[in-house]
Amino acid sequence: MRNEIIRLENVITSDVTKTNLNNFNLHLFAGEILGLIAVDEHGKEKLLEILYQNSSIRFGRIYFKEMLVNSYKYSDNTFNKVYILSQKSKLIDHLNVLDNVFVLKRGFRKYIINSKVLAQQFYRLLEESEIDIEINPYDFGDQLTEYQRCVVEIIKAVVQGIKVIVINNISSELSEKDLKAFKLFLKRLVLNGYGVLYIGNHHEEVFPISDRVALMKNGSIIKVFEKDELFEQNILPYTISMDKTETSLKRSCAEGKILFKGITTEYLKDITFEVQKGTCVVLYDRSNKVQQDVISCLIGENKMNTGEIYVETEGVRKKIEKKSWKHQIGVIDENPIKNNMYHNLSFIDNFCTFLDNRKKTVYISGKLKASIQKEYYKELGKALYETNLNKLGKTDLYNLVYYRILLQNPKVVFIAQPFTDADMYLRFHIIELIRMLKQKEIAVIILAFTISDNLHIADKFILIEEGYKKKEFLPEEFSDIQLDI
Amino acid sequence: MKHRYSISKAIKIWIYILGIIYIFLLLMLLFISVNEHKYYVFLAVGAAGAVLAAYTGYFLVYRRNKKIEKICQLYIEGYITEEEYEKNVMISDMIDAVYKCQSEKLDKTKILNLSKKQAQYLALQNQINPHFLYNTLEGIRSEALCSDMDRVANMAEALATFFRYTISNIDKMVTLEDELANVENYYIIQKYRFGEKLQLKIEYGDDLSVLSFKLPKLILQPIVENAVYHGIENKLGQGTLKIQVNYTAKRLLIKISDDGMGIEKETLEELNTKLLTNSLEDITESKQKKGGIAILNVNNRIKLLYGEEYGIFIQSLRNVGTDVQIVLPVIKE
């Protein structure tokens, strides 16, 4: 007999304009990790909401430990024993770990707090979870690394008596190494009777940890894979193909390359590699340090210790001076919708942000904007005329980010973790956008700490360990990458 | 005489008029208070009146009205069935009496009997379906020619057992073991027709007590039959049917999967919407739609016997396969 913790049965929810969850059926047993892959984002937020709180639903029933807690006939807005671990921290920054874990617990009624006793309890909980991590219980919430924060939040949930832990897309916050350790921690956790709903966008991430995996699309569960069905070929019919459809560049057009020679930064040590125009190189580092290091150098936060960047065309090598980096190197940060946008500006104003590279004056005339709108209307459509970015979907916003780079026309563009938080359709779209940059002869360098879909667009894969270049893989060797890493 | 407004709308208009009169009286009071410099009288009376009106209005009228409107809306959309008749909506004593009378008239056993009849009809149809008999006899004949008599005997035995189980006592409760045995019998019969093309796997773990759980008769076989005819028959190459059994403290969970042709998206949505509730719709439709009817029929029987929280749900993708999830209550005795 299995102990069922949560069951959603025929759940239909809707807001004013659309249906979120559409005949949604899912159940989670105690002691299992149920993977959930959202093919699209439709209804995901609502699912998290109704798991946490018994808010009104249009149809269906929700059971917690086989007791009816919410139905279309009656919703009492009470809270379920569900903890949602997401990218945004739920810890209070200016309270230490002990306060966050123990003092903020509902029902904690002590007037004199003995930190030593609480610290002992905290260490005991850490020891019981057999996790290899060092956490200072007196550190403040904002002093913790992402990995520490995730572990502390889970311990907080355990202390609160939570039965279901929802892991919502945290892979982009953790390095490959930390993610592996965290998954091991979750596996040990469920042995104590907890249920974990592990939400991810990619089957490569979700399959290895899960006992079952549910696929969600258009607000419904379209398939549940059992443990013995968790193979890549089983999920392929439910996904969209991301295989290469790009026509290979004519080498005559794409002649020329960018050379990175002896690059040494705070983390990187004497890295030398080259990238052909119109091709894509993935710099892969499991520790997530390359990404932060390179981006901070490019945007001028940190300095590159040694090393030069050259452009080589027809055998003539020309150095790119640091002062002209801004004009010749494009940067797309991780999660660009959040990090690379001015949400109080209109679409066209955001679109023209980098135009000062090509136009000397700061002022961009309305006439020029109108001309740009006319030129890009075919690709970007009505979104070009939108004044409020919040009204646009993710596809339009990613179009803005990538077409803006096209307008900037740099020699090389650095993209940090391009597929973070993207559902399957959006990932496909991002691949198309990166292919477009390649077609326009822009060299693309992806800074990644997860392999994800990067191999679909990569022409070269460089493995970095401890700051040193360990190995280079060409497309015909990509199948060996999994084995090597 | 035909009235312009419904009674509820008329009540609302009347309340608005009362509200306007109340506000008018308050203004009068304000005017008097200002003249006599006694603002507190106005404030106290006005605030107390407003709080009382809001409080009583919310609890006595608004919340109940909302609930009734939600039930009506769901009923119109077809989500609610007979259970709502059992609810006391308390509009007025007279209307409630009418409501109760109406619910008695809707005899839910009518649907149950029709479902049973439909199941018997399908069973009889199996018995006399010439294709079914021809294919089966053809199998027996070819086996008689090509092999020893043992196998023919097995086949005949399987056929006899299958018919015996299918036709008798349709409303009887059986054990899961009996149901699975019947499915295996059906598989043996179909195996003579499909050969290695058809494979069956049954998984119920190490806990054998699940086999003694009771369930209504002929819940699994119609769905397996559907999977064979609509899923695997038209598929090129081998097809596998998988039955997985699991259970919790209150629920028996049975998943019947096939890797056959799958169901078109629109048809699937339509079917799943119909499976949300039980109804007479589709039960008496033509035999061309037999596949859908069999599932609807099984779903109707489950919902009528055990309530709307039990039943069937389907997940499917064209050219990939179909999973039919059956949820039943755990009945040990």
pLDDT digit string, tens, across residues B4-61: 667 777 787 888 888 888 888 888 887 877 777 777 777 787 788 888 888 888 877 7
Q: pLDDT value at position A473? A: 87
Determine the 3-state secondary structure of A46 from DSSP. helix
Arithmetic mean of pLDDT, A182-202: 92
Q: Which chain A residues touch B273 with a CB distance below 8 Å?
A: 23
Place of tokens 């609890």: B59
Instruction: For residue B315, give how far its alpha carbon lies from the nearest alpha carbon of chain A (Å).
Output: 6
The alpha-helical segments, DSSP class H, found in A83-190 are 97-98, 115-128, 146-159, 176-190
Least confident stretch, A276-280, B8-12, B83-87, B164-168: B83-87
pLDDT at B200 over 80: yes
pLDDT of residue A251: 45
Give yes or no for a contact between A309 and A294, defined as CB atoms under 8 angstroms apart: no
Closest CB from B207, B250, B273 relative to A66? B250
Domain boundary among A238, A265, A283: A238
> Do both A212 and A291 map to the same domain?
no
Q: How many structural domains does chain A have?
A: 2
- Do A219 and A263 lie in a common domain? no
* A210 vs A202: CA distance, rounded Å: 12
What DSSP letter does each residue of A208-256 carry, written as one string?
A: GG-SEEEEEETTEEEEEE-GGG--HHHHGGGS------PPPPPTTTT--
Is A230:A72 a contact under the CB 8 Å cutoff?
no
Give contacts of B313 with chain A, Cβ < 8 Å: 10, 23, 25
Q: Is the pLDDT of residue A164 over 90?
A: yes
Checking if the pLDDT of A238 tops 60, the result is yes
**What is the band of A485 on the pLDDT scale with cuts at 50, 70, 90?**
very low
Residue at B27: amino acid letter: L
The mean pLDDT value for A150-178 works out to 89
The secondary structure element, H or E, covering residue B131 is helix B130-146
Residue A483 has pLDDT above 50, yes or no: no
pLDDT digits (tens, 9 = 90+) for B218-275: 899 999 999 998 899 888 889 999 999 999 999 999 999 999 999 999 999 989 988 8
Position B16 scores a pLDDT of: 86
Nearest CA in chain B to A75: B67
Band of pLDDT at residue A28, cut at 50, 70 and 90: very high
Task: Let me know if residue A340 belongs to a domain.
Answer: yes
More confident residue, A324 or B221: B221
Contacts of A411 (CB under 8 A, 6+ apart): A258, A277, A311, A320, A328, A329, A442, A443
At B314, the pLDDT band (50, 70, 90 cuts) reads very high
The reply to whether residue B323 touches residue A224, judged by beta carbons under 8 angstroms, is: yes
In chain B, pLDDT over 70 holds for what percent of residues? Answer: 71
Nearest CA in chain A to B205: A1
Chain A nearest CA to B248, separation (Å): 5
Any A CB within 8 A of B233 CB: no
B315 vs A4, A9, A222: nearest CB: A222
Mean pLDDT (chain A, rounded)? 85
Are residues A462 and A273 in contact, defined by beta-carbon separation less than 8 angstroms? yes
Look at A25 and B248 and tell me if their CB atoms are within 8 Å: no
Tokens of A125: 């909980």
Nearest to B222 by CA among B174, B260, B186, B171: B186
Q: Name the domain boundary from A238, A273, A293.
A: A238
Place of tokens 């280079």: A472
Q: What is the pLDDT of residue B291?
A: 53
Instruction: Give chain A positions within 8 Å (CB) of B258.
Output: none
Taking CB atoms and an 8 Å cutoff, what residues of chain B touch A25? Answer: 313, 325
More confident: B284 or B3:
B3
Residues of B in contact with A236 (CB under 8 A): none
Check whether A362 has a pLDDT greater than 70: no
Question: How far apart (Å, rounded) are the C-alpha atoms in residues B99 and B94?
Answer: 9
The verdict on a CB contact (< 8 Å) between B247 and A222 is: no
Same structural domain for residues A228 and A281? no
**Residues A184 and A317 grouped into a single domain:** no
Q: How many residues does chain B have?
A: 333
Is the residue at A252 inside a domain?
Answer: no
pLDDT over 80 (residue B306): yes
Residue A251 is assigned to a structural domain of this protein: no
CA distance A302 to A319: 20
Helix (H, G, I), strand (E, B) or coil at B88: coil
- Is residue A10 within 8 A of residue A186, CB to CB? The reply is no
Amino acid B177: pLDDT: 93
Locate A214 and state its tokens. Answer: 């549910």
B-contacting residues in A 227-256 (Cβ below 8 Å): 237-238
Those residues with Cβ within 8 angstroms of residue A367's Cβ, 6 or more apart along the chain or in another chain: none
Q: In this complex, which of B74, B244, B276 lies closest to A10 when CB atoms are compared?
A: B276
| A176 lies in the same domain as A271 | no
Per-residue pLDDT, A249: 46
Q: Is the CB of residue A224 less than 8 Å away from at least one CB of chain B?
A: yes
Which residue out of B64, B315, B316, B324 would a mutagenesis test of the A interface target, given it has the greatest number of A Cβ atoms within 10 Å? B315
CB proximity B320 to A under 8 Å: yes
Helix (H) or strand (E) holding A164: strand A164-168
Q: What is the mean pLDDT of residues A420-432?
A: 87
Strand extents, DSSP E, chain B = 173-175, 198-203, 214-216, 239-247, 251-258, 311-317, 321-329
Beta bridge partners of B175: B214
Handedness of CA A435, A440, A443, A446 (dihedral sign): negative
B319 close contact with A: CB closer than 8 A = yes
A243 in any annotated domain: no
pLDDT score for B141: 60
The predicted pLDDT at position B17 comes to: 86
Separation between Cα atoms, residue B213 and residue B177, nearest integer Å: 8
Q: CB distance from B251 to chain A under 8 Å? A: yes
Q: Is the pLDDT of residue B82 over 60?
A: no
Instruction: Using a pLDDT cut of 70, give the percent of chain A over it.
Output: 92
Query: How far apart are the C-alpha atoms of B45 and A68, rounded to whole Å?
Result: 45
Per-position b or e across A327-347, b if 16+ CB within 10 A of its CB: bbbbbbbbbbbeebbeeeebb
Q: Which of A62-71, A461-470, B60-69 has the highest mean pLDDT?
A: A62-71
Shortest CA gap B250–chain A (Å): 7
Domain ranges of chain B: 7-106, 109-329
The residue whose two tokens read 């307008």 is A407
Q: Could you tell me which chain A residue has the CA closest to the CA of B275?
A: A10
CB contacts, 8 Å: A23 with chain B? 272-273, 276, 313
Q: At what angle do helices B130-146 and B108-128 cross, to 10 degrees?
A: 40
Write down the pLDDT at residue A253.
Answer: 47
**Predicted confidence band of residue A252 (pLDDT cuts 50, 70, 90):** very low
What is residue A456's predicted lDDT score, i.e. its pLDDT? 84
| Alpha helix stretches (DSSP H) within B172-255 | 176-194, 221-226
Q: Which residues contact A480 (CB under 8 A, 6 or more apart)?
A: A473
pLDDT value at A214 more than 90: yes
Of A25-29, A343-347, B49-53, give the range with the top mean pLDDT: A25-29
Contact A23 B319 (CB under 8 A): no
What's the rounded Cα separation, in Å, for the pair A347 and A401?
A: 10
SS3 B240: strand
Using a CB-CB cut-off of 8 Å, the residues of chain B touching A238 are: 317, 320
A274 with A419, same domain?
yes
Per-residue pLDDT at B168: 66
The domain containing residue A218 runs over which residues?
4-238
Q: Are strands A280-284 and B198-203 parallel, antiparallel or unpaired?
A: unpaired
B137: pLDDT confidence band, cut at 50, 70 and 90? low
Q: Which of A4-8, A91-95, B28-32 has the lowest mean pLDDT?
A: B28-32
Average pLDDT for residues B272-298, to the nearest whole number? 67
In a 13 Å sphere around the CA of B35, the CA atoms on its Cβ side amount to 6
pTM above 0.90, yes or no: no
Structure tokens, B284? 């008496």
Give the span between the Cα atoms of B280 and A336, in whole angstroms: 54
Hey, what's the torsion of the CAs at B193, B199, B204, B206, to 10 degrees? 120
A397 conformational bin, left if phi > 0, alpha if psi -120 to 50, beta if neither: alpha
Burial B143-175 (b: 16+ CB within 10 A, else e): beeeeeeeebeebeebbebbeebbeeebeeebe
pLDDT higher than 80, residue A250: no
Place A54 in a pLDDT band, splitting at 50, 70 and 90.
very high
* Residue B167: predicted pLDDT: 66
Angstrom distances, CA of residue B75 to CA of A13, B272, B282: 16, 17, 19
**Residue A189 and residue A108 share a domain:** yes
Which residue carries 């390649």 as its tokens? Answer: A438
Q: Is residue A219 part of a domain?
A: yes
Interchain proximity B248–A3, CB inside 8 Å: yes
Has residue A245 been placed in a domain?
no
Assign a CATH topology to domain B109-329: Heat Shock Protein 90 (3.30.565)
At A5, the pLDDT band (50, 70, 90 cuts) reads: very high
The band of A167, judged by pLDDT with boundaries at 50, 70 and 90, is: very high
Tell me: do A180 and A265 sit in the same domain.
no
pLDDT score at B112: 63
**C-alpha angle A286-A290-A294 in degrees, rounded to nearest 5:** 160
Q: Quick one: pLDDT at residue A360?
A: 62
Lookup: tokens for A197? 């709903």
Which residue does chain B place closest to A238, by CA atoms?
B317
* pLDDT of B286 strictly over 50: no
Q: What is the ipTM score, two decimals?
A: 0.78
- Give the model's pLDDT for residue B252: 95
- Beta-carbon contacts of A285 under 8 Å, excluding residues fewer than 6 positions away, are A291, A447, A448, A449, A463, A464, A465
* CATH at A438: 3.40.50.300
Three-state DSSP class for residue B322: strand
Of the listed ranges A25-29, A438-442, B91-95, the least confidently predicted one is B91-95
Q: Which residues of B touch A221 (CB under 8 A)?
A: 315
**Which pLDDT score is estimated for B129?**
56
Residue B84 has pLDDT above 60, yes or no: no
My answer on whether A224 and A268 are in the same domain is no
Average pLDDT over residues B153-165: 74
